[in-house]
Structure 1
Amino acid sequence: MSKKEQAAYINQQLKIGLVAAYNNMLAFKKYRQSPVIVSRNGKVVAVAPEDMPPAAPFEKWS
């Protein structure tokens, strides 16, 4: 496996992991009924987990 192929594989695995982590975080926040804290336009805001967008499939990431 070349270094380029190895880097592409690692990049793919990281994207899969990020999507899984995001989905797990949203499921946990829904279970605990606690808000997700995010930054919007430079301000820290609490958002209901139901209002958070679903994770985009990693194939659509560029």
Structure 2
Amino acid sequence: MSKKEQAAHINQQLQIGLVATYNALLAFKKYKNSPVVIARDGKIVAVPADEMPLPASVSMP
């Protein structure tokens, strides 16, 4: 496996992990009925978990 292929594989694995973590976070926030606190336009806001967008799917090569 070349360094370029190895970097692409690691990048893909990181993306999969980030999507899984985001999904787990949203599920937890919905379960606890608590908002997700984010920065929007330079301000800190609390957004209901139901209003958070679903993650984009990770493409598999």
Normalised by the shorter chain, which TM-score bucket?
over 0.9
Alpha-carbon distance between aligned partners in 2 of 1:10 and 1:35, rounded to the nearest angstrom = 32
Which runs of 5 or more structure 2 residues have no equivalent in the other structure?
Answer: none
The alpha-carbon deviation at position 35 of structure 1 amounts to 0.4
TM-score, length basis structure 2: 0.93
The alignment status of 1:8 with 2:8, answered yes or no, reads: yes
Q: TM-score, normalised by structure 1?
A: 0.92
The percentage of aligned residue pairs carrying the same residue is: 64
Q: Figure out how many residues of one structure are paired with residues of the other and give that number.
A: 59
In the aligned structure 2, how far is the partner of 1:44 from the partner of 1:7?
34
Matched, 1:45 2:45: yes
Task: Kindly report the root-mean-square deviation, in angstroms, between the aligned alpha carbons of the 2 structures.
Answer: 0.6
Match of 2:31 in 1: 31
CA distance in structure 1 between the partners assigned to 2:36 and 2:25 by the alignment: 9
Structure 1, residues 6-59: CA drift from partner, whole Å, max 9, x if none?
000000000000000000000000001110000100000000000000011022
